[in-house]
A = this chain, B = another copy of it.
Amino acid sequence: MAANTFGEIFRVTTFGESHGEAIGAVIDGCPAGLRIDADFIRKEMARRSPGQSAITTQRKEGDAVEILSGVFENVTTGSPIALLIKNKDQRSADYTALSKIYRPSHADYTYEKKYGLRDYRGGGRASARETAARVAAGAIAKLFLNEYHIRITAYVSAVGEIKLDKPYQQLSFSMIDSHPTRCPNPETDKRIQELILQLKAEGDSVGGVVSCVIEGCPAGLGEPVFDKLNAALGNAMLGINAVKGFELGSGFAAATMRGSQHNDSFVREGEKFRTLTNNSGGIQGGISNGEDIYFNVAFKPVATIAKPQETLNTAGEKTTMEAKGRHDPCVVPRAVPIVEAMAALVIADFVLRNRGARV
């Protein structure tokens, strides 16, 4: 029972609501002896934080991460690492009107059906603000994975109809963070920017796709049956707000392919066993094979839009709503570090789980 806990050995528990005192995370199971780079955590937080550019929300979130425990003289001690992020920019007045309405495609209605009540301030626990805690924890997972030379890189590969039709091998990852859209292709970046600004003007929003590549992952990670590495990654991604789909390697296209076309033949590269193609996406039978792991994550358009929408209030009466808050018209540029963080949590956990594989 781990509704707010993620992972088996490297376990992260997050807490907090968008307009409460603070959000945060407790990491239990981070090995002792890991050097913590506070600057790196700060940079990761900045990648997720709002207000980065004209295409994201101007809302400011105070994303300073305080490490309350588990680190002594900058090194992890094996004790739980508590990470605290205080909520600073709480304009609760923006939200009180929402206590009596069920916003379309939000979690207002479902929370109330589940719990009998809800914290209606800015979405409460359902707010994407919770993901800040994941990015903080993911930063520590990344520091751990550095020790194994495992690199995780996500980027925006589609927004609305605009698609980046290039395999990841042809992209320059260094461009990702220099583009406001986090799409590492100058021309596509520009077109996406235009689309987002247009939708902002229209008071609408749009969905998109984040792609992710894990390089340097050793062969042998993942469990053969229920905790296949692809299942764990899918679970992680589908646990991110607004995600509607996940595909690994060949993904949905595999459904249209022939076995003779899809199978990845083994070939030698010096002493190493490689595969000629990588439709498997780096995972075979649920276990990594040493090739790059890559996958796509589909995000729906943000539910909060300025355009007027018909819906019901909590009494069941028809009403029209227009969101007034400061919201992203497109979530995917800021979702990039969240996808990376969740992938890092999965891989860190499976690296540790794998230590029990052999006598």
Contacts and interface: CB of A to CB of B under 8 A. Distances in A.
Contact of A227 (B3, B16, B106): B3
A285 to B, nearest CB: 2
A175 interface: no
A124 B79 contact: yes
Q: Which range holds the interface residue count of chain A? A: 35 or more
Given A78-B115, A266-B102, A300 B254 contact: yes
Given A302-B259, A356-B9, A110 B230 contact: no
B17 A8 contact: no
Contacts of A189: none
B262 A300 contact: yes
A359 B106 contact: no
A204 B259 contact: yes
A6 interface: yes
A257 B105 CA distance: 14
A275 B301 CA distance: 17
B17 A309 contact: no
A206 to B, nearest CB: 6
A117 interface: yes
Interface stretch (A18-26, A48-56, A57-65): A18-26
Nearest to A284: B110
Contact of A79 (B17, B243, B266, B267): B17
Give the 7 A-B residue pairs with the shortest CB-CB distance, closest first: A107-B285, A245-B247, A205-B259, A3-B223, A110-B287, A32-B115, A235-B235
28 contacts: A1-B9, A2-B8, A4-B28, A4-B225, A13-B80, A14-B225, A17-B69, A22-B82, A24-B82, A29-B356, A33-B358, A104-B266, A105-B264, A106-B285, A109-B266, A114-B287, A114-B354, A208-B255, A245-B247, A245-B255, A254-B300, A255-B298, A255-B299, A258-B301, A261-B301, A262-B301, A263-B303, A265-B309
